[in-house]
């Protein structure tokens, strides 16, 4: 066999091996069992899990809140979590579902649900850390009561964009404008976390409404979840690939669809109550660079 043929075969075999590794690294990684896919970060006495592992609740009282985190870390993918929030008086409480790299220059993608007094609706705050920098809060009022039933909250994270979804409706995007000088989470793997804690120094009306412990203990419930993501194995090239396994990196997910753009605009027109990109006073007229760039 000629040397050129041997080289061609070796290259083909190497390519096949890489494709197999990519597929293995990008498989659906959630079992649907909280006890198998997550560990309790703190206060296990404040975490209740159903006997089949399919439901979990976090408890907040005077003694402690609680939280859990995924066993694995991921670089790109889609993460879905069904959550039912604290009913009744929930002022001062914060329920969070987020991705984080836990590094000093951390990347983080946050859903934060800010409790409220009876008669006032929950506020959903989203935030993004890129290379340790945040100050990118957006806030909306939800168009339903998130305490009456479970709703699905999702994060799509790929090399092109981050999209926050509520029941499949896109409420926020953050595009990869790294080529224009905007930091974008694209190198650091992140774990999935969920927490319930006392944030009454800031969460409700800037800290004016405090946690009323006589109304506690407070419980947030977590239901079905899906993790379809690239499990971190130490090589970012696998997760950045546009292989069939890494479907979220495909062209169809590089921007919002036409229908998604309409929903996105609907949310921002009808339900947005704070956008850091419109807060000239906070940034003294020097808004972050991404505020002048496209959102999809």
Which residues are tagged catalytic? Answer: 108, 112
How would DSSP label each residue in 191-224? Answer: EEEEEEEE-TTTTTGGGTSPP-GGG--EEEEEEE
111-141 burial, b for 16+ CB within 10 Å, e for fewer?
Answer: bbbbbbeeeeebbbbbbbbbbeeeebbbbbe
The answer to whether residues 228 and 37 touch, using CB atoms and an 8 Å cutoff, is no
Tell me if the bond preceding 51 is cis, omega within 30° of 0: no
State how beta strands 151-157 and 74-84 pair.
antiparallel
Residue 207 to residue 181: CA distance in whole angstroms: 35
Q: Would you state the structure tokens that stand for residue 241, as one six-digit string?
A: 């690939």
Q: Which residues contact residue 37 at a Cβ distance below 8 angstroms, ignoring those fewer than 6 apart?
A: 29, 30, 31, 70, 71, 72, 225, 227
Name residue, tokens 């920098």.
Answer: 133
What is the separation of C-alpha 234 from the centre of its chain, rounded to a whole number of angstroms?
A: 21
Residue 206 to residue 113: CA distance in whole angstroms: 14
Nearest to 184, CA basis, from 229, 255, 130: 130
The answer to whether residues 226 and 113 touch, using CB atoms and an 8 Å cutoff, is no
């Amino acid at each position: 066999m000629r040397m050129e043929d041997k080289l061609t075969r070796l290259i083909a075999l190497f390519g096949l091996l890489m494709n197999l590794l990519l597929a293995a690294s990008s498989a659906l990684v959630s079992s649907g069992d909280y006890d198998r896919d997550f560990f309790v970060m703190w206060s296990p006495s404040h975490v209740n899990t159903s006997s089949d592992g399919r439901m979990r609740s976090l408890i907040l009282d005077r003694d402690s809140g609680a939280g859990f985190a995924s066993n694995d870390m991921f670089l790109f993918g889609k993460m879905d979590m069904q959550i039912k929030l604290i009913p009744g008086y929930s002022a001062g409480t914060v329920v969070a579902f987020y991705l984080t790299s836990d590094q000093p220059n951390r990347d983080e993608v946050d859903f934060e649900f800010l409790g409220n007094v009876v008669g006032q609706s929950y506020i959903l705050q989203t935030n993004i850390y890129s290379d340790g920098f945040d100050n990118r809060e957006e806030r909306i009022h939800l168009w339903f009561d998130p305490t009456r039933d479970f709703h699905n909250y999702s994060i799509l994270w790929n090399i092109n964009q981050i999209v926050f979804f509520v029941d499949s409706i896109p409420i926020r995007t953050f595009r990869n404008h790294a080529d224009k000088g905007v930091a974008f989470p694209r190198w650091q793997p992140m774990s999935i976390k969920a927490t319930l804690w006392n944030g009454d120094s800031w969460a409700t009306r800037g800290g004016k409404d405090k946690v009323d412990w006589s109304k506690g203990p407070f419980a947030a419930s977590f239901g079905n979840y899906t993790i379809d993501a690239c499990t971190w194995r130490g090589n970012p090239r696998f997760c950045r690939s546009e292989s069939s396994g890494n479907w979220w990196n495909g062209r169809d997910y590089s921007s919002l669809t036409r229908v998604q753009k309409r929903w996105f605009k609907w949310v921002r027109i009808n339900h947005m109550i704070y956008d850091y990109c419109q807060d000239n006073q906070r940034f003294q007229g020097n808004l972050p660079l991404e505020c002048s760039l496209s959102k999809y």
